[in-house]
């Protein structure tokens, strides 16, 4: 009995240590992600304060440029905080989906137009059918598109991005394609982890929470996300969602 108890205690201890290690790695990665936009925001605002406190204030065009730069960093911070909240909701089974019928094309166009300025110098080309009504969570559908577009902008090396929406017999298919760094085949599943830094085939490429959140949301809507990619040639993220769902009320993710 003493031996069994010792083995059981050891297993519990090892499990707790593993969970603590995962937690610590997660917090470390989050801190890293927060630090970059915070540092950039601090430098931009400090520069504005110094310039406006001096004898030669900045011209209005330069002030506008720096304020736009600060706004970009604030947006990055807000999205990261939203992702962290979604991690908590999804992990705790508290993510609520509000199902309704909506025009998918209108949502895709809205997100693409919103992200067009962020994509520069890259351009975003959009291809859709004439009409496509689906049933799902409109806001969460937009979130999936936003996450995949942000990823394409970040790793697309400024090359054109293609967004394609198509209709199948029972599903819709959304593709977001870039022509950037690409992802090695061995890493194509790992990028959907909460935080991951890829290996030697794609050095210094770090994926954050966005893809993990996007896939979890897609699965909560009874669909999925996968990627097809070639290192140095780019990546295509493919989302498939059902055209209709039997759900008619808010459904928590379990």
CATH of residue 138: 3.30.565.10
Q: How far apart are the first and last CA of the chain?
A: 37
Convert the pLDDT of each residue in 217-234 to its tens digit: 999 999 999 999 999 999
Question: Tokens in use for 254?
Answer: 């379990």
Lowest mean pLDDT among 83-87, 163-167, 205-209, 218-222: 205-209
Structure confidence at residue 198 (pLDDT): 61
Looking up tokens 């699965």, which residue turns up?
219
* pLDDT band at 2; cut points 50, 70, 90: low
Structure confidence at residue 133 (pLDDT): 87
Residues 66 and 139 reside in one and the same domain:
no
Structure confidence at residue 251 (pLDDT): 44
Residues 132 and 223 reside in one and the same domain:
yes
Answer whether residue 245 shows pLDDT above 80: no
C-alpha span between 35 and 31 (Å, rounded) = 6
Tell me what the mean pLDDT of segment 161-190 comes to. Answer: 93
Question: Tokens in use for 126?
Answer: 């959009």
Residues 215 and 175 reside in one and the same domain:
yes
Nearest Cα to 172, choosing from 111, 244, 227? 244
Residues 87 and 100 reside in one and the same domain:
no
* pLDDT band at 248; cut points 50, 70, 90: very low
For 157: left if phi > 0, alpha if psi spans -120 to 50, otherwise beta; the answer is left
Structure confidence at residue 55 (pLDDT): 74
Top-confidence range, 59-68, 138-147, 178-187:
138-147
For the chain, how many structural domains are there in total? 2
Residue % of the chain over a pLDDT of 70: 81
Which CATH number is 40's domain given? 1.10.287.130
Structure confidence at residue 107 (pLDDT): 96
* Residue-number span of the structural domain to which 147 is assigned: 96-252
C-alpha span between 80 and 32 (Å, rounded) = 11
* pLDDT band at 148; cut points 50, 70, 90: very high
Residues 130 and 60 reside in one and the same domain:
no
Convert the pLDDT of each residue in 15-57 to its tens digit: 777 766 666 666 666 776 777 778 888 888 888 888 888 777 7
Domain boundary among 91, 126, 141: 91
Residues 138 and 18 reside in one and the same domain:
no
Nearest Cα to 138, choosing from 109, 99, 83? 99
C-alpha span between 101 and 170 (Å, rounded) = 15
Structure confidence at residue 252 (pLDDT): 46
């Amino acid at each position: 009995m003493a031996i069994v108890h010792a083995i059981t205690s050891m297993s519990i201890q090892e499990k707790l240590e593993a969970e603590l290690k995962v937690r610590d790695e997660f917090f470390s990665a989050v801190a890293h992600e927060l630090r970059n936009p915070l540092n950039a925001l601090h430098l931009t605002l400090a520069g504005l304060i110094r310039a406006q406190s001096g004898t030669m204030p900045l011209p209005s065009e330069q002030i506008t440029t720096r304020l736009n730069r600060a706004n970009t960093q604030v947006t990055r911070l807000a999205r990261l905080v939203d992702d962290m909240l979604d991690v908590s909701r999804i992990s705790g089974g508290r993510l609520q989906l509000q199902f309704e019928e909506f025009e998918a094309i209108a949502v895709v166009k809205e997100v693409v137009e919103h992200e067009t300025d962020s994509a520069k110098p890259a351009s975003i080309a959009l291809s859709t059918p004439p009409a496509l009504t689906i049933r799902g969570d409109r806001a969460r559908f937009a979130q999936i598109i936003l996450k995949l577009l942000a990823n394409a902008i970040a790793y697309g090396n400024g090359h054109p991005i293609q967004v394609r929406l198509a209709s199948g017999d029972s599903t819709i298919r959304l593709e977001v394609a870039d022509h950037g760094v690409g992802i090695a085949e061995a890493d194509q599943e790992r990028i959907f982890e909460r935080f991951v830094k890829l290996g030697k085939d794609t050095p210094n490429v770090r994926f954050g929470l966005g893809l993990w959140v996007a896939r979890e949301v897609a699965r909560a809507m009874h669909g999925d996300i996968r990627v097809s990619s070639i290192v140095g040639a780019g990546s295509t993220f493919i989302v498939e969602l059902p055209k209709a769902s039997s759900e008619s009320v808010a459904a928590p993710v379990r």
